[in-house]
Amino acid sequence: MTKANPIMVEPAPCERPAAAAGHEWWRGATIYQIYPRSFADSNGDGIGDLPGITAHLDHVARLGVDAVWISPFFTSPMADYGYDVADYRDVDPTFGTLADFDALIARAHDLGLKVTIDLVFAHTSDRHAWFGDSRSGRKAAHADWYVWADAKPDGTPPNNWQSVFGGPAWTWDARRRQYYYHQFLKEQPQLNLHLPAVQDALLDVVRFWLDRGVDGFRFDALNHGMFDPALTDNPPATDNRQRTRPYDFQLKTFSQNHPDVVGFVERIRAVCDGYGAVFSVAEVGGDGAIPLMKAYTAGNHRLSSAYGFDFLYAPKLSAQLVASVMRDWPGTPDADGRDEGWPSWAFENHDAPRCLSRWADAAARPAFGRMTITLLTALRGNVFLYQGQELGLLQDDIPFHLLKDPEAIANWPLTLSRDGVRTPMPWDAGAPHGGFTSGDPWLPLSAGNIARAVNVQEGDPVALLAHTRAMIALRRQHPALRHGTIEAVEARGDVLTFTRRADGETIACAFNIGASLQLHKASPGDVIVAINGADAAHLPAWGAVLVRESAA
């Protein structure tokens, strides 16, 4: 290898290998997130849909991933673009029909892809039939399915809890002459997950989709699902972070993270186990997330994995950050002897800005992109790739008059718009709107991202698309990378090193997360990956080398 060549990856077999014997298919899997509004539009209305996803699943399969995660496509008035569900058991007409979903499942399975969907159980839409009945009166069949409380004597809300999207987390409802609780938009009333009947109804939703062939679930905002029933005021935050919303001014001591969520998690797992090897991942955000992530995934009777936020909003990627995060998940049993849960990692998603826009300047992005894909696929845990990440898409700047994101509109200009990471997927640089739609796209595509379209990178051996495919294939090929332990994690300046080990295989990994040449002495063995001019002794800017160590 010469240093002029930016990439050297050990050739991998073309076939899609099965999960290693004795390991669930999802352990160490690579999962591709699809945001359906922005993936592919099949009918020219400017909004992506389920048939559009089905038509482009070949691209996803060629990446070599194990599964897709599809963000909500359920019936919704779209106040929060699908995260306000009005019917958990149907498809919103914007996205298609249940028959379209069945066709998507069939095509994905034909291609060897598992299908994971997003379930939003902390709240529903205010248009959900359950809420319509609940607000009709205090003796209604669903009266207690949501969180209602009387006003204080002066008419103000029951406590000081604040909404993520701005203002009090309580809205007055004249029908009940009470306030109802909503951690997000007022159009997203909070379900009362403390009530067994609510849990039973939601578990029936899980069964409904499993019966249609779904292979797994991401449970959105799961730690928001329960609260202190006494409605105790949250204490003020005392740190020195910049505060852009009222929500940021208090600790969420009583409004979320209730320990009883674990009991609901165990009920979910019991249902999933009845259907076989079903993947379940919890989204757990906010301060103090790691203990909750571990609680929700400990042992073999809770969820499969928890989705980490450590990298999603980090303004800078550093060796120290990665080392710290990896040390939090060593894979050892907890104090009670339960096996530690399995983490999942993402560098970007539908809520978090594109990682190359956050972490690298324009000149460094080609090399930096190769390094981040190599790093993500070398970490212990599941890998989540967000649509377009394999192309190196950047965060788009959406002007205020075109914003759709309710959080960004409410907190303009201090909250970064989520719309900038939700812009449509570019398929064909020569087609109108990058081949996403024949109509007017719901969000604009930038010229820069259209130039990174799939058809531009297809067949280019040094494009990020080719490198992403190679790294996913390599991860599948090597047990140490897919499901091995992570050991000897060290950060020395910009150099990050760690060792992956499984099934008699040991792979030493070294990354230069910096712009200056670093010297490095690799262990004896076969170099299976070297990028950006790296070799066993040198790590140039954003260089990385993975060595399969020789047997002793």
Residue of 220, 390, 405, 407 marked active site: 220
Residue 261 and residue 32: Cα distance in Å, rounded? 27
* Tokens (6 digits) for 144: 């207690």
- Read off the tokens for 174: 């004249």
Contact partners, residue 123, CB within 8 Å, separation at least 6: 84, 182, 183, 184, 188, 189, 190, 191, 221, 224
| Helix pair angle (261-273, 289-297), 10° resolution | 40
C-alpha torsion 51→54→59→60, nearest 10: 120
User: Annotated catalytic, 440?
Assistant: no
Helix (H) or strand (E) holding 119, with range, is strand 114-120
Is-catalytic flag, 535? Answer: no
**For residue 321, what are its two tokens?**
């950050």
Tallying the residues shown for the chain, one arrives at: 552
Catalytic residue among 283, 351, 396, 419: 283
In terms of Cβ atoms closer than 10 Å to its own Cβ (0-12, 13-18, 19+), residue 107 is middle
Distance CA 383, CA 64 (A): 12
CB atoms within 10 A of CB 545: 25
> Which candidate, 11, 203, 114, 121, places its Cα nearest to that of 382?
114
Residue whose C-alpha is closest to residue 532's, from 386, 391, 372, 395: 372
The gap from C-alpha 415 to its chain's centroid, in whole angstroms, comes to 20
With contact defined as beta carbons under 8 Å apart, do 485 and 380 qualify? yes
Q: Name the residues annotated as catalytic.
A: 220, 283
